[in-house]
Structure 1
Amino acid sequence: MARTEAQARAMYDLWLVRHGKAYTNAIGGDVEHDRRFRAFWDNLRFVDAHNARAGARGYRLGMNRFADLTNEEFRATYLGASAAGSRGRTNADGKRYRHVRRRRGPEFVDWRQRGVVAPVKNQVHCGSCWAFSAVGAVEGINKIVTGSLVTLSEQGLVDCSKNGQNSGCNGGMMDDAFAFIAWNSGIDTDEDYPYTARDGKCDLAKKGRKVVSIDGFEDRPRNDEMSLQKAVAHQPVTVAIEAGGRQFQLYESVS
């Protein structure tokens, strides 16, 4: 049964409190409040319709913190990987983890259990997912090699890595982030060069503080799941996915 507008508004009021949001105090706040409610109600219909299906396709949707955004707003705010870059890479497929035998690698690897992955970070309202993904992989391989888990600076990439397709909060590619770190002979810590979730002027002094470095990077062979499995068994890898769908925006849990 479809929810009435009154029911939806009651849910919206509770949602606003839960997520600490308010739109009534700003200029034109009443108009914005109603606009946000309309987006919320439309998303609520979508969530209810999905969850009502038998099995819900293996996952459930929910009214998470993105529930008052239209899908267009969600995509514009949070998607930062360059689609063109993912299709038109210039870096050659690497050979380090190319799978040449039919023997499969381990069926399960969780680098979090081995203390190789830093706590979850939040890119906030900035299309910097490319920087977070690249930094996470560098943090992981540094932990494996040195035994020390050092959280590194995404902001350093947002501000200073303007090579290739990297454009701060307007998006970029992990390959270009790795190329910058290798060219710069390293990257600073997150503590010293903290994240601000906005484009800023490159801090040259902090750019020169090279706490962790990499020698290079490589792409895994295309359309080769066994090579990907081999790579993941040796170290964390970085990936870009199509995250702009409405189901991804409103994802809650597995069924």
Structure 2
Amino acid sequence: MNTTPTTAQQLQQIARLWPDLHDALGDRTQHAWPPPQLRDYLTGLDRLDTEEQEARRHQAAALRALERSPDQLGTRPVPISLRVHDTMRMVEAALLDTADRIARSVQRAPMQPPPPARAAVARTRADRVRWEDRARRVEQARQDAADPRRWHATGSGRTAIRAALWLSGRASGSSGPFRPLSAVEEQHLARVAAGALARVEAALDLADARRELTAEHPCQCGGTIEVYGGAGARPVARCKGCGAIWHEGGVVAA
């Protein structure tokens, strides 16, 4: 049975997880991957590798700039997780841009109301029919323009959750003032949804993760060490050469 989530399901999951990102925004703990404790055990080093050091320097500089920003409310800086903040900023920008692009392509323009007409007394039945028909068309145009299923390029509804749910509707072919997505549009939306969900899950430590340590930190046998875990599981390292396995507490098997 195929358990791979559809594009619509991935977008719905982003919307469900977005409040969790807001909650995690106040957590400044940086969850490096692989975990530094396991890396230190494996390598016997007191420092992180060059890549992680550089990332930490950038994060520290960005945090200092944020704390000095005059836009901050109050007299003290608001502590936030830059990792979560950057994820939210990038994912929201990607979803809004994708919604804008797809709406320009698939969303039908609102119905045009009839041209203005001078008020007049309906003297005959035919006059009454014409005025009633005109009033009906005016109301139809108003309701069509105000259809809540429409995506708007401006306004207060431009949020990550709203964009994710609107795009989910387009991916599932929900009814509304739209044409179906083309194959190219479906593929593009699928890539955006998968990438955005991966970033959200990584920020919340919900996804499985796997990474090889650099060549500077090989196993004693000379083999490459691979670290895997995530999604709440304790990280484990395994040598792809001799098969030795470690976790943060020590050697599991050799």
**Considering the TM-score relative to the shorter chain, is it more than 0.5?**
no
Length-normalised TM-score, structure 1: 0.26
The structure with the larger Rg is 2
- Between Structure 1 and Structure 2, the one with more helix by share is 2
- Between Structure 1 and Structure 2, the one with more strand by share is 2
